[in-house]
């Protein structure tokens, strides 16, 4: 039975192979063009140094700034989500709560915004317990 099924499968592939157009036209690859795209869209070490306020250089500036960019994007996303839901602005930082809200806390929420405030995704970096940033570094 398995052999018969395999034969039918192979025949079906063979019969329908011509109906698929496998020819592709590729555009000529230009190394200079790709390099130009990369150099205009990627941050240079100097860009990272400027983001850090010219306080640290090269590798350390890249480490600091890439983390700053990541959490800034998260904060902007949360602000946009809150705006789309017609909630208030992003809340000020508090101490990080490692435990999830209890069922009782969730059930006692009197509004959708209050419920969302309980479950809004945050990380230790986005709290007063952050060892990496101050709130002013990434708060909108």
Hey, where are the domains in the chain? 57-137
What is the reported pTM?
0.60
Q: Which residue has the tokens 């809200």?
A: 101
Say if residues 120 and 78 touch (Cβ distance below 8 Å).
yes
CA angle 55, 56, 58 (to 5 degrees): 140
Query: What's residue 134's pLDDT?
Result: 85
Q: Name the average pLDDT for the chain.
A: 82
Confidence of residue 23 (pLDDT cuts 50, 70, 90): low
Tell me the average pLDDT across 115-133: 89
Give the number of other Cβ atoms within 10 Å of residue 116's Cβ. 14
């Amino acid at each position: 039975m398995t052999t018969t099924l395999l034969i039918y499968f192979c025949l079906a592939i063979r019969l329908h192979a011509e109906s698929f157009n496998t020819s592709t036209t590729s555009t000529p690859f230009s190394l200079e063009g790709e390099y130009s795209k990369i150099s205009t869209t990627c941050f240079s070490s100097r860009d990272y140094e400027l983001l850090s306020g010219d306080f640290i250089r090269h590798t350390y500036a890249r480490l600091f700034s890439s983390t700053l960019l990541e959490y800034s994007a998260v904060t902007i996303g949360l602000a946009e989500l809150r705006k789309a839901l017609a909630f208030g602005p992003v809340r000020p930082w508090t101490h990080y709560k490692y435990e999830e809200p209890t069922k009782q806390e969730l059930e006692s929420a009197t509004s959708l915004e209050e419920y969302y405030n309980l479950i809004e995704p945050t990380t230790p970096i986005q709290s007063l317990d952050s060892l990496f940033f101050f709130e002013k570094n990434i708060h909108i």
